[in-house]
Amino acid sequence: VVLPGVGAFADAIAELKRRDLVAPICEAIENEKPFLGICLGLQLLFDCSYEDGEHKGLGIVPGEVRRFDVPREYKVPHMGWNQVHCCRESPIFAGIDDQTHFYFVHSYYVVPKDETIEAEYPDPFCAMIWRDNLYATQFHPEKSQSAGLRVLQNFAELEK
């Protein structure tokens, strides 16, 4: 299961509810189906977001989503290539070197209880989380050339 995402948190949560997708998403994760959230798909998994107010998320991952508060020389949204640092090994990062570059487009970042892969802008932020069958990236693997394709291939090859 892949939960992609581009757009606003509140609109995305409302659309998931309108289409009755919240329960199937939760069931897929609970039933240990391989699950990948990408960008907003990562953020939606968290307890809440402060994008344009406070909005409740899916509550699957403890933590919150915050807007970048960066010095003036940094632009928001954070767009472009950035290195990621693996804090602990992940099956979908097999064969990918630490400090590999991935492509990011986001104004908000997640603050989880457990960070596994991080990047900096200018301070460290969580670039990916994973536990059991659940994987989620802030970066866009589909736009990250060979490294991103490797992430997607590794995910596709997970046991179902």
Which of 39, 51, 64, 78 is an active site residue? 39
* Whether 86 is catalytic: no
* CA pair distance 64, 112, nearest whole angstrom: 7
For residue 101 the two structure tokens come to 């570059």
* CA pair distance 10, 7, nearest whole angstrom: 9
Which of 106, 140, 157, 159 is an active site residue? 140
Q: What's the one-letter identity of residue 43?
A: Q
3-state class (DSSP) for residue 105? strand
Q: What is the largest CA-CA distance in the chain?
A: 45
* Whether 140 is catalytic: yes
| Burial class of residue 72 (count of CB atoms within 10 Å of its CB; 0-12, 13-18, 19+) | exposed
* CA pair distance 65, 51, nearest whole angstrom: 8
* CA pair distance 28, 26, nearest whole angstrom: 6
Which of 27, 48, 142, 159 is an active site residue? 142
**Residue positions annotated with a catalytic role:** 39, 140, 142
